[in-house]
Amino acid sequence: YYMDNHASGSADNKDSGLETTKFFLNCLCLLLGRLDSKRFESTMSEIGMKISRILVPQLNCTDEDVIVGAVAIFKAIILKPNLSQEDALINSRQANIVMPFLLHLLDEQDGTSRAVVMLIAEYCSLCKDDMCLMEVLKRLASENISQRRNAMDVIAEILHISLASKKPLPHSAWQETANTLLERLGDKDIWIREQASKLLPMIDPSLYLLDLVRLVYSPDENQSSASDAIIGVLKRHNQNIEIIFLLVDCLNNISQSLDLPQPAGDKESKVDTARVLKLVPEWSKSVQDWNNLIGPLIDKMFADPSNAAIVKFFSYISEDLKNVVDLVLHHVLLHVREQKE
């Protein structure tokens, strides 16, 4: 009752009532915390929407304790993955009322936005559809830099939650996220570009690697960020030979392409694959065990001799292969013997 009737008013009244608001907010937290799960669900079914309506204005408070308390209650109200069909419908209605306002709080770079980042990320991760995620991704394309930065923070949390979850994001959500992060590699804000290059490697590279490699040949700021992202992909998947094959095949395909920017007056010029291959040593230095990599790499080179990218690839990791030269020779000799037979 107190918070509902003092959510608006003069600044003086708000300041004078701050401690009282905090007191009643703590009381509400303690009261809800003492309810068993069945009683809590029935209480939320009856007055959950009213509680949400009362708490929403508190998120605009400048006091961190009030914000933390309000967010904690919202988490209890919204983040409930194991509900009956009827309770899930009620919970969805409550979330649909609250989430637009929470998303609106991402418009500014302040304590409130930081407080709701995790709440929004957790809710997006629990949603059966990707509507919440799509709203966050829209903000990554906003002209408002605070919206873009806050949205990037939410995406980072969503990716971490999803990778650790038994119920990861659906394929379409991963694809949309990858596409949006690719776009942000050319953002005007350097922090956003750096974050995009760090987050992309967390997503399955097969969804975006070809487009990422193409960005390395772009004439703008995409080039540097795209290169950083490729290094991140290679290091994160440094024992995954399929990712290496994917990169090599992307390079081979792009080197035959004529739809990339070419030097003026030289439409027949081939793409300089060295621009990407020079990043490969960053990967090879991080490889701990070559035993499961050398064989497949040699196999691919002999199986696809017309693929110039794989041959050049070997030249860029030659220094690191010195330590496993016996292993390399063993696999090469196996192929030589097969050809003789």
Q: Which of 193, 190, 226, 191 is nearest to 211 (CA)?
A: 226
Residues 258-314 have pLDDT tens digits of 555 555 444 444 567 889 999 999 999 989 889 889 999 999 999 988 888 998 999
* Distance from C-alpha of 294 to C-alpha of 289, rounded to nearest angstrom: 10
Query: pLDDT grade, residue 245 (50/70/90)?
Result: very high
**Measured over all CA atoms, what is the biggest interatomic distance in the chain, rounded to whole angstroms?**
93
State residue 112's pLDDT score.
Answer: 73
Model confidence, pTM: 0.80
Q: State what percent of residues in the chain have pLDDT above 70.
A: 84
Let me know the angle formed at the C-alpha of 221 by 219 and 222, rounded to the nearest 5 degrees.
Answer: 80
Q: Is 339 helix (H, G, I), strand (E, B) or coil?
A: helix
Domain ranges of the chain: 1-169, 207-341
Q: Name the CA radius of gyration of the chain, rounded.
A: 27
Query: pLDDT grade, residue 122 (50/70/90)?
Result: confident
Q: Which of 74, 99, 19 is nearest to 6 (CA)?
A: 19
Residues 6-58 have pLDDT tens digits of 555 555 555 557 888 888 888 888 888 888 878 877 877 777 777 777 777 78
The pLDDT of residue 105 is above 60: yes
